[in-house]
């Protein structure tokens, strides 16, 4: 009576023929099912003023902002804050890696009731630049339904220019702002 598999015996030949085929199929599926690359935020040289033409078809549903800078973080036992700090710093090993991840992380949930060519713009002011307005844009050529966007002001941009003092988000369609959400200090 045999209790366990004898390692000196060859493996089941059916297993050996199916296993490589399964590996190849899995590799082919993972290569074919790559998701579409998310749009990239691009800083713009000058944030031109766009006229307001607010529409009920476009809405900001929720905006969260997270500052990752140990100099301004209070000690906490809140598990959500501790997790968020660990998440954004995951993989940062050297001091340079950690310095590059310092800054602001914006998560924006917005919706479009109809198909439209939309530009999401983040305009912001930083403490070392005074009233100078900087901006970053993301282009969505066929936006419809609920969308989630992540915007970041990190690294040298944050370390040299300081904390964000005021910000606003715009949804722009055909050169007009159709959606608006701003911080309390934006004027």
Give pLDDT tens digits for 4-60. 444 444 445 554 555 555 555 555 544 444 445 556 777 777 778 888 999 999 999
Q: Positive or negative, the Cα torsion across 140, 121, 146, 79?
A: positive
Least confident of 34-48, 74-88, 107-121, 170-184: 34-48
Choose between 77 and 15: higher pLDDT. Answer: 77
Is there a contact between 63 and 109 (Cβ–Cβ < 8 Å)? yes
| Average pLDDT of the segment spanning 109-136 | 95
pLDDT band at 3 (very low <50, low <70, confident <90, very high): very low
| Average pLDDT of the segment spanning 104-123 | 96
| Helix, strand, coil fractions of the chain, as percent rounded to 5 | 25, 40, 30
**Is pLDDT at 71 greater than 60 in this prediction?**
yes
Tell me the two tokens of residue 168: 């606003």
**Is pLDDT at 113 greater than 60 in this prediction?**
yes
Domain 42-182 = CATH 2.60.40: yes
- Note the pLDDT of residue 4: 46
| Average pLDDT of the segment spanning 165-185 | 95
Is there a contact between 116 and 145 (Cβ–Cβ < 8 Å)? no
| Average pLDDT of the segment spanning 102-121 | 96
Quote the percentage of the chain above a pLDDT of 70: 79
Count CB neighbours of 125 within 10 A. 21
**Is pLDDT at 88 greater than 50 in this prediction?**
yes
Is there a contact between 113 and 68 (Cβ–Cβ < 8 Å)? no
| Dist. CA 164–CA 167, nearest whole Å | 7
Choose between 187 and 45: higher pLDDT. Answer: 187
| Average pLDDT of the segment spanning 91-117 | 95
- Note the pLDDT of residue 102: 95
**Is pLDDT at 183 greater than 90 in this prediction?**
yes
- Distance, first Cα to last Cα, the chain: 85
Q: What is the pTM of this model?
A: 0.75
Q: Positive or negative, the Cα torsion across 33, 112, 106, 154?
A: positive
Residue found by looking up tokens 């749009």 in the block: 39
| Dist. CA 85–CA 96, nearest whole Å | 17
């Amino acid at each position: 009576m045999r209790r366990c598999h004898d390692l000196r015996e060859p493996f089941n030949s059916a297993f050996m023929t199916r296993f490589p085929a399964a590996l190849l199929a899995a590799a082919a599926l993972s290569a074919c099912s790559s998701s579409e690359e998310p749009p990239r935020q691009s800083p713009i040289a000058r944030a031109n003023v766009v006229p307001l033409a607010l529409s009920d078809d476009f809405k900001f549903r929720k905006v969260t902002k997270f500052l990752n800078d140990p100099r301004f973080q209070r000690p906490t036992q809140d598990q959500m804050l501790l997790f968020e700090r660990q998440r954004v710093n995951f993989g940062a090993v050297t001091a340079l890696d950690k310095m590059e991840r310092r800054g602001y992380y914006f998560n924006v949930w917005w919706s479009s009731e109809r198909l439209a060519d939309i530009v999401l713009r983040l305009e912001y002011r930083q403490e070392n630049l005074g009233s100078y307005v900087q901006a970053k844009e993301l282009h969505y050529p066929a936006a419809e339904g609920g969308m989630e966007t992540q915007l970041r002001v990190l690294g040298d941009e944050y370390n040299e220019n300081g904390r964000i003092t005021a910000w606003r988000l715009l949804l722009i369609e055909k050169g007009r702002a159709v959606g608006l959400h701003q911080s309390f200090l934006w004027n």
